[in-house]
Amino acid sequence: MQHLDTYKTKGLRKALVEGLKNKGIASTSVLSSIEKIPRHLFIDSSFLEFAYQDRPFPIGEGQTISQPFTVAKQTELLQVKPKEKILEIGTGSGYQASVLVELGAKVFTIERHRNLFLKTKELLKNLKYNAKCFYGDGYAGLPNFAPFDKIIVTCGAPFVPEALKEQLKIGGIMVIPEGEDVQKMNVYTKLSDTEFSCEEHGDFRFVPMLESRK
Ligand code: SAH
């Protein structure tokens, strides 16, 4: 595994961050995490240039690494603070998980595709982004590690899974794209065991959150 980060990739990343600022990302901690993380190591090495365009990109198994703007927006909405325990649904390439680790969070991430789970677990270990990777179904969350300060869902959810509502701390935030073809980026705050407030933050497109494993 090459850990190559060159002048060129650093330069491309700087330009990407400028682009994200222009698109309205304001959090300096989120922007500096994106500037630090070599996104090209999370996709196939023959597509280096694509890693720093603001687009999603295929990562195998019919899945994609989310567009940088989407990662930046979801992370900003999550208002991450160091030491927070965060659950991610949809590990995929591991890039979003690495951004959360870079921000100082304790990250737990679930992936339902076994090959992606195995590949990404190894990659994150090699890159020393110490997220805890789990192979399983995001609809069930991780009851043994709950409650979480924050939950981030990175696939399009048809509804908010009940288990995830339960596994969020009171006062905690869940960022979840909800809908079928196009998703609304919804931010829920847990007010009590049974009450949530919800804010909507625009339209996004994600690969679907699927119920049963392949
Ligand atoms: N956060 C990822 C985005 C990957 S795309 C990244 O930074 O690259 C969304 C991922 O969610 C896919 O890998 C898909 O396999 C996974 N996924 C879909 N339904 C799921 C479920 N029910 N549980 C866990 N993961 C799921």
pTM of the model: 0.96
User: Going by DSSP bridges, is the β-strand pair 148-153/168-178 parallel, antiparallel, or unpaired?
Assistant: parallel
Residue nearest atom 10 of ligand 1, based on CA coordinates: 90
Mean pLDDT of 161-180: 97
64 lines ligand 1 (CB under 6 A): yes
Mean pLDDT of 151-168: 97
Q: What is the length of the chain? A: 214
**What pLDDT score does 46 carry?**
81
Tell me the pLDDT tens digit for each residue of 73-132: 999 999 999 999 999 999 999 999 999 999 999 999 999 999 999 999 999 999 999 999
* Cα–chain center distance at 205: 14
Q: How far is the CA of 7 from the centre of ligand 1 (A)?
A: 31
Q: Kindly state the tokens that stand for 183.
A: 């998703």
Res. 173: pLDDT tops 80: yes
Residue nearest atom 11 of ligand 1, based on CA coordinates: 90
Report the C-alpha gap between 162 and 101 in whole angstroms: 26
Number of H helices, E strands in the chain: 6, 9
Q: How far is the CA of 176 from the centre of ligand 1 (A)?
A: 12
Report the C-alpha gap between 21 and 197 in whole angstroms: 28
Residue 137: name the closest of 214, 65, 42 by CA: 214
| Closest atom of ligand 1 to CA, residue 138 | 23
138 lines ligand 1 (CB under 6 A): yes
The catalytic residue positions are 66
**177 neighbors 185 (Cβ within 8 angstroms):** yes
| Closest atom of ligand 1 to CA, residue 90 | 11
Percent share of the chain, pLDDT over 90: 90
* DSSP string of 7-75, one letter each residue: HHHHHHHHHHHHHHHHTT---HHHHHHHHHS-GGGGS-GGGGGGGGSSS-EEEETTEEEPPHHHHHHHH
Out of 3-17, 160-174, 178-192, least confident range? 3-17
124 lines ligand 1 (CB under 6 A): no
119 lines ligand 1 (CB under 6 A): no
Distances (CA, A) of 66 to 2, 46, 163, 196, 208: 22, 18, 24, 27, 12
Tell me the pLDDT tens digit for each residue of 22-64: 999 999 999 999 999 999 999 988 888 889 999 999 999 889 9
Mutational test site, ligand 1, from 64, 110, 111, max ligand atoms within 8 Å of CB:
111
Sequence-distant (≥ 6) Cβ neighbours of residue 150 within 8 angstroms:
78, 79, 80, 84, 85, 86, 87, 105, 168, 172, 173, 174, 175
**What pLDDT score does 1 carry?**
44
Percent share of the chain, pLDDT over 70: 97
